Amino acid sequence: MKKLLICMFVAILSIVAAPVYANDAHHQTVGNQKSYSAKGEVVAVDGALSKVKLKHDAVPELQWPGMTMFFNVADKTLLDTVKVGDQVEFEFVKVDGGGPLITKIKPLK
Ligand SMILES: [Cu+2]
């Protein structure tokens, strides 16, 4: 729980500290945003809400420790290729006014 709070705090901080996107909150330009990659394990999949819960490794670029948390996915069809228990690698962007958004996810071979 504490780790989740830290992660959310870091996410909020980085949104506040990203004035480049401040005027574009209603036009999410995912392609222009910095993306981060990480590995983890799928804990839960919610296709209806386009969310996936991942137990992810640390993300040093964001100073995130490893933790278990929900991510939104950009397109729910991304979740078609993964299932609970899979080890995955994924990429996500930080979206203004929201949490991290997964743009790519695939099982590790
Ligand atoms: Cu996290």
What SS3 class is residue 20?
A: helix
Q: Which domain holds residue 17?
A: 2-21+34-107
The answer to whether residue 29 is domain-embedded is no
What is the CA(69)–ligand 1 centre distance, in A? 5
What is the CA(52)–ligand 1 centre distance, in A? 12
The answer to whether residue 15 is domain-embedded is yes
What is the CA(68)–ligand 1 centre distance, in A? 6
What is the CA(26)–ligand 1 centre distance, in A? 24
What is the CA(72)–ligand 1 centre distance, in A? 12
The answer to whether residue 26 is domain-embedded is no
C-beta separation of 41 from 54 below 8 A:
yes
Domain count along the chain? 1
Which CATH number fits the domain that encloses residue 14? Answer: 2.40.50.320
Token pair belonging to 80: 């078609």
The answer to whether residue 41 is domain-embedded is yes
The pLDDT assigned to 67 comes to 97
pTM equals 0.69
pLDDT in tens, the chain (109 residues): 566 665 655 555 555 554 444 444 444 455 567 899 999 999 999 999 999 999 999 999 999 999 999 999 999 999 999 999 999 999 999 887 778 999 999 999 7
The answer to whether residue 76 is domain-embedded is yes
Whole-angstrom CA distances from 26 to 29, 74, 91, 102, 107 are 9, 15, 22, 18, 32
The pLDDT assigned to 68 comes to 98
